[in-house]
C-alpha cells in the first residue's frame, strides 16, 4: 500500500518548497494509519491489484476523464470486475479503456461550473475532502503543476489508486489524512479547495482558518458548500437530519458565508455560482446502488427535503489569503507616510525595531488615515 502512494515522488515534487519537511514525515504518519487499517481494506486493495496492465495511449483530463488504448475483450472484462470491486463510486464519471464508471454524482457538471472562474496553470493544489480524487485529475487537466488530495476514507483512496495505476507519472497524490492531521501553519499551497466539506464541520469558522493556514500568502481558496436563502445573519442548523444526513451542522446564506470568510481573514471574497442540486446530478446508478438524492427529497415537492427543509442548493465562493498580515499592512502604511518612523520603533514585515518602548509612541494622524481598513 505505502509503495502505491508514491510518496518518494511527492517529496521530489515538493523539494525546495515549504512543504518538504511535511512530505518527509508522511511515510511514518501513514504507516501509523495503516496499522489501524479498515476491515475492508484488504478486499479493496485486492481489487486494485487485480487491475490488468494497460497503457493509456490517449489521456483526456481537460473536458472529461477518459483513458484510451489497446484493450482486449478479456482485459476489459478484468478491468470491469476490478473496478466493480470498489463499489460504491460517488464522484466521477470515469471512462477507462471503454469501461464507463457511471458514478452517483455528475461531478463533471460541478467542475464545469467552477473551472471557468479559476486559473490553475502552474499552481500547487490541495483538495481537502477529495473523495476518490476525480477533481485532482481535472485540476491537472486545467494546467495545475501538482495536485494533492486528502481524505481519510480508505475506499476513496483505493478508487484513486485504480486511476493512478494507469497514470503513474502524473503529479497527483491522495493521502488518507483528515485536515486536522496536517501540521499547523503549513502555508505551502497556491490554491486550496474545500468542496462539500464545510457543512459537515461543527465549527465552520475554525475550518476556514485551517484552510487559510494551508495557503501561501496571496493564495486562493475555492469553497463549495450547501447554502440557504437569507441575509448575512441567516444560517440553517438542522435539528436532526438534513436530507437523511446526520452530520450536517451549518447551512449559511451566501451573504453569511461571505461574512464568515471575511471574519476568518480572507479578502476579495466573491460568490461565482449558486445552483440547486438536481436529481439528474446526484442519483443511484449501477455503480452506486444505494439511496441517493431522489430518496432524500419530499416526493410531492422537490424544493424540500424529506424533513421539510430547503432542498440542497450549493454555492461556490472564491476568496484570497492576504499578501500581508494586518500588522504588516500597518507597518507598510506608516513607513510610506513617514519613512523616518522606523528608527524610533515600528513593527516591520521583518520584525520589531525599537529604540524606545512602543507604548511611548503614538502614530501621527496621517498614518492613521492611511492605514488600510480590514476587509
Instruction: Report the 3 state secondary structure along 2-59.
Output: CCCCCHHHHHHHCCCCCCHHHHHHHHHHHHHHHHHCCCCHHHHHHHHHCCCCCCCCEE
Q: Which tens digits make up the pLDDT trace of 243-288? A: 999 999 999 999 999 999 999 999 999 999 999 999 999 999 999 9
Q: Which tens digits make up the pLDDT trace of 115-146? A: 999 999 999 999 999 999 999 999 999 999 99
Q: What average pLDDT score do residues 139-167 get?
A: 98
Phi, psi of 295 (to 5 degrees): -80, -15
pLDDT for residue 366: 38
pLDDT for residue 260: 98
- Assign 310 a pLDDT band (cuts: 50, 70, 90): very high
Of the candidates 206, 199, 192, 157, the residue with the CA atom closest to the CA atom of residue 177? 157
d(CA 125, CA 211): 12
**Where do you find CATH 3.40.50.150 in the chain?**
7-320
Is residue 326's pLDDT more than 70?
no
Q: In what order do the strands lie in the sheet with 99-101?
A: 58-60, 66-68, 94-96, 99-101
Is residue 371's pLDDT more than 50?
no
Planar angle of CA 214, 312, 307, nearest 5 degrees: 125
What is the average pLDDT score of the chain? 90
Q: What are the beta bridge partners of residue 351?
A: 348
pLDDT for residue 3: 84
Q: What are the beta bridge partners of residue 315?
A: 225, 274
d(CA 123, CA 163): 22
Is residue 108's pLDDT more than 70?
yes
> If you classify domain 7-320 with CATH, what class do you get?
alpha beta
* Three-class DSSP category at 101: strand
Q: What average pLDDT score do residues 19-32 get?
A: 95
Of the candidates 137, 68, 65, 133, the residue with the CA atom closest to the CA atom of residue 101? 65
* Three-class DSSP category at 84: helix
Q: Which tens digits make up the pLDDT trace of 177-230? A: 999 999 999 999 999 999 999 999 999 999 999 999 999 999 999 999 999 999
User: Is the bond preceding 93 in cis, omega lying within 30 degrees of 0?
Assistant: yes
- Assign 328 a pLDDT band (cuts: 50, 70, 90): low
Amino acid at each position: 500500500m505505502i509503495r502505491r502512494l508514491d510518496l518518494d515522488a511527492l517529496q521530489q515534487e515538493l523539494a525546495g518548497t515549504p512543504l518538504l519537511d511535511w512530505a518527509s514525515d508522511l511515510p511514518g504518519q501513514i504507516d501509523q494509519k495503516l496499522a489501524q487499517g479498515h476491515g475492508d481494506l484488504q478486499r479493496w486493495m485486492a481489487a486494485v491489484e487485480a487491475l490488468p496492465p494497460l497503457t493509456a495511449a490517449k489521456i483526456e483530463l481537460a473536458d472529461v476523464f477518459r483513458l484510451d488504448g489497446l484493450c482486449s475483450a478479456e482485459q476489459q472484462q478484468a478491468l470491469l470486475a476490478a473496478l466493480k470491486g470498489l463499489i460504491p463510486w460517488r464522484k466521477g464519471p470515469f471512462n477507462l479503456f471503454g469501461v464507463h464508471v457511471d458514478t452517483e454524482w455528475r461531478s463533471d457538471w460541478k467542475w464545469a461550473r467552477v473551472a471557468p472562474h479559476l486559473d490553475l496553470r502552474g499552481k500547487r493544489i490541495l483538495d481537502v475532502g477529495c473523495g476518490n480524487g476525480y477533481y485532482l485529475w481535472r485540476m491537472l487537466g486545467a494546467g495545475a503543476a501538482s495536485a494533492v488530495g486528502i481524505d481519510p476514507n480508505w475506499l476513496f483512496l483505493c478508487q484513486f489508486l485504480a486511476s493512478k495505476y494507469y497514470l503513474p507519472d502524473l503529479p497527483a497524490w491522495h493521502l488518507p489524512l483528515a485536515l486536522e492531521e496536517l501540521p499547523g501553519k503549513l502555508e505551502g499551497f497556491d490554491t486550496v479547495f474545500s468542496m462539500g466539506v464545510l457543512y459537515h464541520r461543527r465549527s465552520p469558522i475554525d475550518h476556514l482558518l485551517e484552510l487559510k493556514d494551508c495557503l501561501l500568502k496571496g493564495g486562493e481558496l475555492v469553497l463549495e458548500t450547501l447554502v440557504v436563502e437569507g441575509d448575512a445573519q441567516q444560517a440553517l442548523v438542522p435539528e436532526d437530519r438534513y436530507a437523511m444526513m446526520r452530520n450536517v451542522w451549518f447551512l449559511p446564506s451566501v451573504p453569511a458565508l461571505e461574512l464568515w470568510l471575511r471574519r476568518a481573514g480572507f479578502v476579495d471574497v466573491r460568490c461565482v455560482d449558486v445552483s440547486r442540486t438536481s436529481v439528474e446530478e446526484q442519483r443511484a446508478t449501477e455503480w452506486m446502488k444505494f439511496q441517493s438524492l431522489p430518496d432524500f427529497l419530499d416526493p410531492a415537492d422537490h424544493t424540500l427535503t424529506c424533513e421539510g427543509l430547503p432542498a440542497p442548493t450549493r454555492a461556490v465562493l472564491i476568496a484570497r489569503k492576504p499578501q500581508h498580515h494586518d500588522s504588516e499592512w500597518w507597518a507598510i502604511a506608516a513607513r510610506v507616510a513617514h519613512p523616518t518612523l522606523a528608527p524610533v520603533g515600528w513593527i516591520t514585515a521583518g520584525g520589531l525595531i525599537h529604540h524606545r518602548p512602543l507604548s511611548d509612541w503614538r502614530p501621527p494622524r496621517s498614518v492613521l488615515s492611511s492605514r488600510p481598513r480590514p476587509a
